[in-house]
Structure 1
Amino acid sequence: MLENSQDRLKINPKYIKKVYLGEGDIAIEEFVAVARYEAEVCFSQSYEERVKKSRQLVEKILEENRLIYGVNTGFGDNVKHVISPKDADLLQKNIVRSHACSVGEPLGKELVRAIQLMALLDAGSGYSGISLEILELIRELLNRKITPYVPGEGSVGYLAIESHLALVLLGEGQAWFQGELLPGAIALQKAGLSPISLKCKEGLSIINGTKSITGIGIMALYDGINAAKVIDVAGALTFEALKGTLKAFDPRLHSVKRHTEQQGTARNMLRILQDSEIAQKFKEEKVQDCVSLRGIPQIHGAAKRMLKDALINLTNEMNSCSDNPIIYPLDGDGIALMGVNPEGSYVGIYCDSICIAMGVLAKLSERRIDRLTNSHFSGLPPFLVKNPGLNNGYMIAQYTAAGLVGDIKVLSHPSSVDSITTSANQEDFVSMAYFAARKAYQVAKKLQYILAIELMVAVQGLDLLKPLRPSSASQAVYNLIREKVPVLEDDGYIYPDIEYIFQLIRKGSIIDAIEEVAGEMEF
């Protein structure tokens, strides 16, 4: 757990090596540290105590034969069928096997790890009644890098995806271990682990809730927030390459709009550009620039506001219990509360909003890429190459950005307004949040590629303005990119250049470089 909320957007997850669960809310960076960078997961004493107490309550309730959904009843529309106590354990095994029917290409490793971590967070709140033994096994799958094989299509928000993960706990299904795809039992054995047997309520608790949608949504949100920081940097370099006027970032202009993100973005631009020889030279050359330059504070700021709202809601969901039923403790006893905490509308709505925010940033970045490569607007050589005609320069890089924006437009259509009834109309309203989360994750990656292209062409533009000097902060980013991306003199293979810059963005290296010179960027 990071010390306070202000730390949450300041620490690069790749530097976090161990994450403790149970002493308070975890931060989004800690979540990404486990999912993407394989940080070790540990349980606190309070985590273990909560889980044990909750399990004791479930067993007490079962002994007293109280009627509880999913413990001694069937699931979904089968809720009307009462299950004998002697069949309670078999019921849990059956739900895992029968529900593991998602299809298609498997989810990537970091997404599977994100869902596994969500299972630990959800049950660790102490309201699920799941045994500590199962959670310890999930933790060991994470720490020993066992990745269940999870087909990634065919979920409306829960159950099918999670069931494939749960199969491996039983020694069934498949899992990746040390580069091999193995039967679940073999993967466990090779890692020195043993499968478990599910007891009453445990199968339901493992697969129920908002685990998959929240895990994937958190990863998308983190990348979206990172992109929203990087786009200020890309915008600043493009601003210099296009000889923009600093007038648009005057604090007095932004003081009359009551949007803190707009004001913060304007300050970011001034901080990055404060010692730019280029910006100072051209400050009075124009009355005003095109919207894609002078609108940076307003447009970047609006997207950041939406991402901030998503951060509040998705981290609330990340640190909640989304099970059904909830095992709620009372004095010396407990009660099973049945409702619909697994419902995914919070996640679905905000994943849709993440797509929209990132779509706005993507279309703005693409317009700046076009302006940089278009000699009719830039005042620079066509497609940023000194010998055009024979050379195509960055002509097709703009096509790539345009194609990615086209994809994002389609993916930004909201999923949360849709609903397809399931379980014989017992679930007559469905969030469809799974696709909202999946497409948010896709959109974030596409936006990062667009920003990689903008940074690539912007540094080329700066080369064409020499001997005029960019700002010190811009120079730091320029140097980082030029470590692997050469000045484009003649046509060459530029795909590796885009991939290199994409990885710099994804790993936080662009932000690290800019903040080392200009100080912390506001978000």
Structure 2
Amino acid sequence: MVTLTGNSLTMDQMKRILFENVYVQASDDSLHAVKKCREKVEQIVDNGEVVYGITTGFGKFSDVFIAKENVSALQYNLIASHACGVGEPFPELVSRAMLVLRANTMLKGHSGVRLIVVEKLLSLINAHIHPVIPSQGSLGASGDLAPLSHLALVLLGEGEVFYKGNRMETKEALAKEGILPITLEAKEGLALINGTQAMTAMGILTYIEGEELAYQSELISSITFEALQGITDVFDERIHFARGFKEQIQVAERYRNILSTSQLTTKQGEIRVQDAYTLRCIPQVHGASWQVLNYVKEKLEIEMNAATDNPLLFGDDVFSGGNFHGQPIAFAMDFFKLGIAELANISERRIERLVNPQLNDLPAFLSPEPGLQSGAMIMQYVAAALVSENKTLAHPASVDSIPSSANQEDHVSMGTIGARHAYQILQNARRVLAIECICAMQGVEYKGVEKMSVITRRFMEDARKTVPSITKDRVFSTDIEKLTSYLKENFVSDRFVGQKQI
């Protein structure tokens, strides 16, 4: 069970909610804060005060007063009109994360919703009823309006959901779980859709998978290191302490641990004086990507506990501000793209060193019969295509902005686009690393599996259950996709890397 307070949600807790399906509940203090805040909203409505988003229209219509008897209709119209997202739906785990984040921000007690709104969100999470939310259509300021409107529709019994592996009408899933839809009242529609929960949820899933892929890249490149008989002097801690970057130091330590029992690695001068950068500079390059990951995690953990709707209520004060603007997450996800793209870039160059006979002493393209059989030749082509595609996706979304709402909303973050592209880069990078893994395992078989380190050999034995050795040419696309799925579905780092941080 994870208890939401509005202030203390962590990445580890989100990982449990998403991948271990733990239940969620609200703390008593946060529920009390929600109730107190709601009393102020009802006072504003009863008194006929003019307050943006409570008794007025939205955006450019902020100067239109809404009478008390029309407040409920205003909220429904807001949700219905704004639910115009397009494209393929977000992954179901992103939808689940959006529900959690939306409930958590309301539990801060600044949004002005009734308790029943939070309770319904928690009910959806615990019943595993996840809104079908189109992934395109958000500008990332005024919040993720279109995606969150599709989420809000489910509370009203409308739209579609994912439920027990099926996509169905919301009312059917709610009926199966005995959950009744609600009618929104003053401020609640706006509180549901004015925020950064789509980009943040997409960012959370991307980060969790990206962190795991970074650890997997260390295992996979360690096998490459053995296949190419790399020089382990480059991991000496004195080199990395001399520079001082924490993440670089940690990466080098993990490689020393992974390769400590290997009989395939070499020392300086035994075979060659120094290796190419793709081996020699692994701690520096991978360490820099870990710096990116740590930055992104910090920003996401702040945002997942943030009040990002508008207006916000603080006791008797109501402020119209701009916490819905996604710029911090837009920058973070654009930064993430660079860090993960570089893990793929350096991996593709290691693949080249594994398959190019001019750069190693292995059979050309790792072929069992060079010339008659092509071996891994075209796998390197695929890796090259994927990293090239990543370079276009890595263009920062956050440098773009298009005015909206008749220039009332004249600068936007495009953070949700950045988060979506980050996830695409991650998928491409995983396939590149899967290709490196296939090639590295084949290469090390020529050098002697019995000489591998204890850790890399255990990992290889596990991976070989998914992709067998190359004894003759076959449709390698199947192997790449199978190993990619293995890397995505199995968080292997705990089993094979052990202690991750210093």
TM-score norm. by structure 2 comes to: 0.95
Correspondence list, 1:55-70, <5 A:
55-70=38-53
Deviations 1:447-475 (A, max 9, x none): 12211221221111111101660111111
Query: Please, which of 98, 105, 115 is the counterpart of residue 132 of structure 1?
Result: 115
CA contact (8 A) 1:247 1:283 kept: no
Aligned counterpart, 1:90? 73
TM-superposed deviation, 1:180: 4.0
Output the CA distance in 2 between the equivalents of 1:325 and 1:350.
25
TM-superposed deviation, 1:219: 1.1
Aligned counterpart, 1:475? 457
> CA RMSD for the aligned pairs?
1.8
Provide closer, same or farther for how the CA distance between residues 352 and 131 of structure 1 changes in structure 2, counting only shifts above 3 A: same
Matched AA of 1:175: V
User: Secondary structure of the equivalent of 1:104?
Assistant: strand
Aligned counterpart, 1:379? 361
Aligned counterpart, 1:417? 399
The aligned length equals: 499
Correspondence list, 1:52-451, <5 A:
52-157=35-140, 158-280=144-266, 284-329=270-315, 334-451=316-433
User: Secondary structure of the equivalent of 2:358?
Assistant: helix
TM-superposed deviation, 1:410: 0.8
TM-superposed deviation, 1:36: 4.2
CA contact (8 A) 1:321 1:341 kept: yes
Provide closer, same or farther for how the CA distance between residues 280 and 468 of structure 1 changes in structure 2, counting only shifts above 3 A: farther
TM-superposed deviation, 1:44: 2.4
Output the CA distance in 1 between the equivalents of 2:427 and 2:247.
23
User: Secondary structure of the equivalent of 1:324?
Assistant: coil
CA contact (8 A) 1:278 1:468 kept: no
CA contact (8 A) 2:92 2:162 kept: no
TM-superposed deviation, 1:507: 3.8
Matched AA of 1:246: T
Matched AA of 2:260: Q
CA contact (8 A) 2:466 2:486 kept: no
Matched AA of 1:522: Q
User: Secondary structure of the equivalent of 1:464?
Assistant: helix
Aligned counterpart, 2:492? 510
Deviations 1:68-124 (A, max 9, x none): 111011100101111112211111111001100111222221121121111111111
TM-score norm. by structure 1 comes to: 0.92
Output the CA distance in 2 between the equivalents of 1:394 and 1:138.
49
Question: How much identity, in percent, do the aligned residues show?
Answer: 37
- Which moves more between the two structures, 300-309 or 449-458? 449-458
Aligned counterpart, 1:461? 443
Provide closer, same or farther for how the CA distance between residues 467 and 127 of structure 1 changes in structure 2, counting only shifts above 3 A: closer
Deviations 1:121-171 (A, max 9, x none): 111111111122112212222222222222221111210111011112111
CA contact (8 A) 1:156 1:431 kept: yes
Unaligned runs of 5+ residues in structure 1 are 1-17
Output the CA distance in 2 between the equivalents of 1:225 and 1:24.
23
Output the CA distance in 1 between the equivalents of 2:103 and 2:490.
27
Output the CA distance in 2 between the equivalents of 1:118 and 1:446.
27
Output the CA distance in 2 between the equivalents of 1:325 and 1:313.
22
CA contact (8 A) 1:103 1:151 kept: yes
Deviations 1:349-384 (A, max 9, x none): 000000011111110011101111112212101121
- Which moves more between the two structures, 497-506 or 417-426? 497-506
Matched AA of 1:242: L
Output the CA distance in 2 between the equivalents of 1:29 and 1:287.
43
CA contact (8 A) 2:263 2:451 kept: yes
Aligned counterpart, 2:21? 38
User: Secondary structure of the equivalent of 1:278?
Assistant: coil
